[in-house]
């Protein structure tokens, strides 16, 4: 990050960070080994292809916290680890016609 903050992207997609004041723009790639803990499955009992069930994996390859390093994760993933203060989610989202383009910060 421009201010020296260390982040690692543990989402499933690259995260674009934009600092509008300073004019910085950084694309934060997905870390190798990033978890795929959350997936959506169709529930055959419901019989509707547009309604899915969120399923959480038992696999836990989330690294131990490292002093001064924040892990970017999804809100759903962060909710699984309420005691971790190193997990952040994209915040102040920039959209174009509803599509997420970037974020201007991260929230604990």
Q: What is the pLDDT of residue 33?
A: 67
Quick: pLDDT tens for 81-104.
899 999 999 999 999 999 999 999
Per the confidence metrics, is the pTM higher than 0.85? no
Q: What is the pLDDT of residue 56?
A: 74
| Both tokens assigned to 101 | 């383009």
**Nearest in space to 93 (alpha carbons), one of 84, 80, 85, 102:** 102
Indicate the domain borders of the chain.
6-107
C-beta separation of 107 from 89 below 8 A: yes
Q: How much is the CA Rg of the chain, to the nearest whole Å?
A: 16
- Write down how long the chain is: 108
Q: What is the pLDDT of residue 34?
A: 64
Quick: pLDDT tens for 39-83.
777 777 777 878 887 777 766 677 889 999 999 998 888 888 899
């Amino acid at each position: 990050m421009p201010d020296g903050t260390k982040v690692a992207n543990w989402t499933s997609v690259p995260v674009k960070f934009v600092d509008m004041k300073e004019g910085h723009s950084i694309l934060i790639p997905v870390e190798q080994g990033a978890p795929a803990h959350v997936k959506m499955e169709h529930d055959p009992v419901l019989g509707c292809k547009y309604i899915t069930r969120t399923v959480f994996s038992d696999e836990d390859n989330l690294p131990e916290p490292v002093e001064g390093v924040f892990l970017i994760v999804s809100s759903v993933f962060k909710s699984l680890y309420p005691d971790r203060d190193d997990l952040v989610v994209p915040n102040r989202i920039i959209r174009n016609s509803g599509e997420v383009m970037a974020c201007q910060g991260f929230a604990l």
